[in-house]
Every structure is written in C-alpha cells, then in structure tokens.
Amino acid sequence: MLMRMSTMLLKTLREDPAEAEVPSHRLLLRAGYVRRAAPGGYTWLPLGKLVLDNITRVVREEMFAAGAQEVSFPSLLPREPYETSGRWTDYGDDIFTLRDRRDAEYLLAPTHEEMFALLVQDLTSSYRDFPMILFQVQTKFRDEARPRAGVLRGREFLMKDAYSFDLTDEGLADAYGVMRVAYQKIFARLGLEHTIVSAVSGAMGGSASEEFLAMADVGEDTFVGCTKCDYAANTEAVTTPPPAAPTGTPGPMTVHDTPDTPTIASLVNLANERALDGRTDWTAADTLKNVVVTVRQPGHEPELLAIGLPGDREVDLKRLNANLHPAAAELFDDFASRPDLVKGYIGPQGIKIRYLADPRVVTGTGWLTGANEPGKHATSVVAGRDFTPDGTVEAADVRPGDPCPACGDGELTMRRGIEIGHIFQLGRRFTDAFKLDVLGADGKPVRPTMGSYGVGVSRAVAAIAEQHHDERGLIWPAEIAPADVHVVAAGKDGQVEAALSLAEELVAAGLRVLVDDRKGVSAGVKFTDAELIGIPRTVVVGRRLGDGYAELRDRRTGDRDEVLLSDMVATVTGV
Ligand code: ATP
Ligand code: MG
C-alpha cells in the first residue's frame, strides 16, 4: 500500500486544539487522525481509519483463534427485546431511543446481549449446538452523561462484543478463561500495558467480572493493587474487610448539647474540648457520618437513602453508583423539605428513610453521631442496639494504605487506568428473560448460560496513543501503525522522484508506505509532521542522495543511520 501525502486528505495542526485536554486527543487531532463531527462523535480520517482497522484486525484474528464466530447485527433495533430483558428502562438516560414513521419505538443499541440470545434461540435446538462463542465488531450508541477526550468516551463508538453460550457453569468458566487469554493476547499485540482487575458484577447479575485497564493517568477508572499479594480491583469493586466485633459492654446512649457542630471537624473539636464521655482522644474515625442521597431507580419515583460511614471517610459517588446500578444516586440537599432530617445532626437511631451502613459499622460498634435535633449529638450509639441498618453498602472512599481485603496483610496502592476491555460471566439473566431452552442429552430441556466480553476498539486508539507518545507526537507500535515506513523527500532536486521510487520498491517488498512527496513544503515541516504522525520508521531522502545514501530514523529510539539506497529495502525488511 502506497499513500502519497501530496494527495492525501490530511492536514496537521501546529497548535494544540482548544477542545482537547488529554494528550491522546490533542495528538490524534493535531496529526490528522480524527475530526470532531458531533458531540461525542468523531470522523476517522484516512490515517485514523487505518489504525482503527488494524486494531479491528488484531481483535478479529484473536477471536477467530479462540474459536469464536463473527456475525453482525443492526444497531437500529426494536424496543421489544430490550423491554423483555428490562433494559429498555434499566439503561435509563444512557439509551438513545427513537420512533419510526409508524410510531413504533426503536433504540440505537448500547450493547447486544438480547439480540445474541434471540439469535441463538432462533437457530439452535439441541445440546449438540453448544458450546458456542459469537462476536461482532460494531457501532454502539450511548448517551453518555459526559462524553470526553475524543474517541476515549464517545456517544457513538466501535466495540467488539462477544457472547459465549454454554450448557453448564463449568462450560461458562472455560469460555471465560479462553476469552481472558484471548484478551491478554490482543492487548499485548496492541502494545497496551494493562492490569486485569476485579470489577463490580452486581448490576447485571452474574458472577466473575474483570476489567482490563490500560495504565494511564488520564483514565477515569481508579484501581487498587496490594503491596503483599496479587489482589487487583477497580476501586468500585473493593470490598472493605469488616473489623472484628468489639468486646466489652458499651455504655448507654447519651445525648449531649453540641452547638455549632455541623461538620465532623467542628464536632471532634468540641468533643475533645468538653471531654465527652470523659475522653479527650476523639478522632473523626470515632464519629458516624450520615449522608443523604436521592436514589433514582429507573422507572420509579426517586427515593431518599442515608449512608452511614465513619466520619474520616467521604462518600465516593462513583463507588456508590456502581454498587446501586441500575439505580443512580446524587447528593440530597433539599433539607428544608424534610424537617425530620436535621442537616449536620442526623443520627441513624429512629431515622425514617432507608439506611445503609459502611461495612465498618459492625454490630456492637458504638459511635458519636447526630441526635436528630439541631445542636445535639449522642455518644455510644451502638449498631445492633440503638439502630439497625437496612443493609451494608460499599460507598466510602478507598485510600492508599487501606488494608488489603484479600490477604489482610498488605496495604492498597492506587493507580488510574482506561477500561479497554471487560469480561463477564453473565449467567442466565438473558436466557431466562427469553426462556431460551434447548433439548439436553437426557431429553430434558436445558437453559444455556452466557458470558459477555467487550473490547473498546475505538477507545483503544486513544488508549494506545495515551501510552505511546512523546512531546513531539505519536509513536505507534508497529502492528497498529498506519504504515510501516514513512519516506520523506526532503525537497530539492530529484529527491521527490527518488523518494517515490524507493517507496514503490518498499511496497513491492510487502510494506505499507506513506511517502511525503509534497512539493513546496520545507524539510523542517516534513520532519515535524513525520514525528507528529508517528510511523515507526522514517526514511529521509535528502542531502546525500547524490552519494546514493538515505537516512533511516527510528521514531521510538531516535536512532539515525545512513543506509545505502540500494540496501534500504533489505535493511527495512530485515532480510
Ligand atoms: P465505562 O465504565 O468506561 O463507561 P462500560 O463499563 O460502560 O464502560 P462496557 O459496557 O463494559 O463499558 O463496554 C465494553 C467496552 O466498551 C468497555 O470496556 C470500553 O472499552 C468500551 N466503551 C464503553 N463505553 C464507551 C464509550 N462511551 N466510548 C468508547 N468506548 C466505550
Ligand atoms: Mg465495563
């Protein structure tokens, strides 16, 4: 393949575009890979389309190698299957819906579990048809609350989604293992340094759920590791080890006047000044903070919920939401409408709204907390005696240094990453919804169990760019680069013609070549563009053409070698 910059639809930008905050977005725009077309929608320019297709090819090859079969569904789908699964409502505001001319309701699919389950129901009837893994590479639509950073989080994006169908739980575990290995191979080939972390699986039902997070400071996911063991989890999925139940008998609950103490800090100060309960060693961790949120369950009226957590912790709304999904929570602040909820002085004893407690609030623990009257707090408010939570919830922020829930010995460390893949043992949620049964070996009906496996193909372009760039531009891993070699005609005399004939020789040797054959563009501009575009190797046909030499540059190492033109093809192909 030969691409000539003199005729290519490509315009590099000297300046950083104002719309771009993260390096990958800035560089993909500047180097002419993508252009913004709509809110959360991007056009792939010729160079970008090549990168996107290379990623798709790698993903497809590894899916085939893992025994999966490719299909392709429409994106425009009728309401009914999603109504049957409950996701027409559960997806909430994230789903794009529309009506056709006959007023029938449709959606632009955010993901395709329903359609795969229906296809399998349509075309299989016996246990002999299983196991099976199907996949597609297809455009998804989600009305994201915050589309961000170009193709990193779009409202229209390319995803590879695969689904496994098995008759037994062991079969599902095997398929999951096969996909997990395939994903490791994919991300290795894409040059993406990543960590596999446990993810929250509650929302969709099902059990094992892991995310592949590409290390990147701009990532929206925070994940933890352990200093002593191999535990790794998205912070959303971190479980808090409950402390040992306290021994000894706590004193009776006592109400104290604590004027002007609406914050934890002011309360702790006053508690120590006045030596409440004879103590002067009160800390925020001794207090119980009660945070009120509004929870919207899709299709239901909003409901108030109070979260009880140690006062030295904050509510992490992302963690709370991941654990409440598909319900969504936001902080409640209309206290004027609820005189029973005394802002700054709320206690769980006798509270009239649903109350979920942090796992540290175990039975027998006593707390300094609100007394549900302005200017009053109570000490020795004991869980299981003075109040009983309606359940526990993981909503408190996770911090570096927190104890590891897996080994109990190490401490948690934290990093940020970009979710590039997600594998998930779904179970029978969708086959139950569609009553998908096939005839078993014993003549009785069996219900297949499903796994679902996604790769963010368009997001991977940004993730790779995020990990592979420097201040001068992109540096693509060889397999993903839009070309193998970038031949630059430095400008004068017969250099353009010589560059073109070298480019043709390289193409004849099986390489994909981008040649900068522009006339009237300075060598300096061409070099800057080559570094911005980031093809692994550049050949500069310039000054030494007369002696029969060109310069071979390595974009990654910056190495430069003078190579005889007659040896160039052999040098570049390594033959
Ligand atoms: P996120 O938490 O980032 O919103 P998700 O958990 O909703 O992602 P999945 O439903 O697991 O995403 O989709 C599978 C993969 O599709 C994700 O791992 C991610 O790589 C990709 N993906 C999801 N949403 C987007 C988006 N808005 N833009 C680009 N890629 C996306
Ligand atoms: Mg996910």
Distance, CA of 473 to CA of 9 (rounded, Å)? 19
CA of 130 to the centre of ligand 1 (A): 28
Place 91 in a pLDDT band, splitting at 50, 70 and 90.
Answer: confident
Residues with CB under 5 A from ligand 2 (ion): 422
For the segment 318-343, the average pLDDT, to the nearest whole number, is 93
CA of 206 to the centre of ligand 2 (A): 14
> Looking at 80-89, 182-191, 203-212, 244-253, which range is the least confident one?
203-212
The pLDDT, as a whole number, for residue 245 is 79
CB 84 within 8 A of CB 114: yes
State the architecture of 23-238+414-466 in CATH terms: 2-Layer Sandwich (3.30)
Name the residue of 94, 419, 452, 466 whose CB sits within 8 Å of the most ligand 1 atoms, as the mutation to test its pocket.
419
Place 575 in a pLDDT band, splitting at 50, 70 and 90.
Answer: low
297 pLDDT above the threshold of 80 = yes
Regarding the beta carbon of 454 and ligand 1, being less than 6 Å apart is answered yes
Q: Which of 473, 499, 469 is nearest to 486 (CA)?
A: 499
Place 286 in a pLDDT band, splitting at 50, 70 and 90.
Answer: very high
Whole-number average pLDDT of the chain? 94
494 pLDDT above the threshold of 90 = no
pLDDT digits (tens, 9 = 90+) for 550-560: 999 999 999 99
Regarding the beta carbon of 157 and ligand 1, being less than 6 Å apart is answered yes
Regarding the beta carbon of 153 and ligand 1, being less than 6 Å apart is answered yes
Q: Residue-wise over 436-459: b if at least 16 C-beta within 10 A, else e?
A: bebeeeeeeebebbbbbbbbbbbb
pLDDT digits (tens, 9 = 90+) for 407-435: 989 999 999 999 999 999 999 999 999 99
Question: How would you class 400 by CB atoms within 10 Å of its CB: exposed for 0-12, middle for 13-18, buried for 19 or more?
Answer: exposed
State the DSSP string of 349-395: TT-SSEEEE-TT--TT-EEEEEEEETTEEEEEEEBTTTB--SEE---
pLDDT digits (tens, 9 = 90+) for 438-476: 999 999 999 999 999 999 999 999 999 999 999 999 999
Place 201 in a pLDDT band, splitting at 50, 70 and 90.
Answer: confident
43 pLDDT above the threshold of 90 = yes
Q: Classify domain 483-573 by CATH number.
A: 3.40.50.800
CA of 211 to the centre of ligand 2 (A): 7
205 pLDDT above the threshold of 80 = no
CB-based contacts of 193, cutoff 8 Å, min separation 6: 214, 215, 467
Q: Which residue has the higher pLDDT, 247 or 61?
A: 61
Place 530 in a pLDDT band, splitting at 50, 70 and 90.
Answer: very high
Distance, CA of 20 to CA of 23 (rounded, Å)? 8
The pLDDT, as a whole number, for residue 206 is 55
Regarding the beta carbon of 154 and ligand 1, being less than 6 Å apart is answered yes
Q: Report residue 426 as tokens.
A: 């779904």
Task: Provide CATH 3.90.960.10 ranges for the chain.
Answer: 254-392
CA 383: distance to chain centroid?
Answer: 37
The pLDDT, as a whole number, for residue 242 is 84
Report domain 254-392's class: alpha beta
CB 414 within 8 A of CB 379: no
Q: Which atom of ligand 1 is nearest to the CA of 212?
A: 18
Could you give the maximum distance between any two Cα atoms of the chain, in Å?
A: 96
Report the nearest-CA residue for atom 24 of ligand 1: 153
CB 372 within 8 A of CB 350: yes
The pLDDT, as a whole number, for residue 202 is 57
Task: Provide CATH 3.30.930.10 ranges for the chain.
Answer: 23-238+414-466
Report the nearest-CA residue for atom 21 of ligand 1: 456
Tell me if residue 283 falls in helix, strand or coil.
coil
The pLDDT, as a whole number, for residue 254 is 94
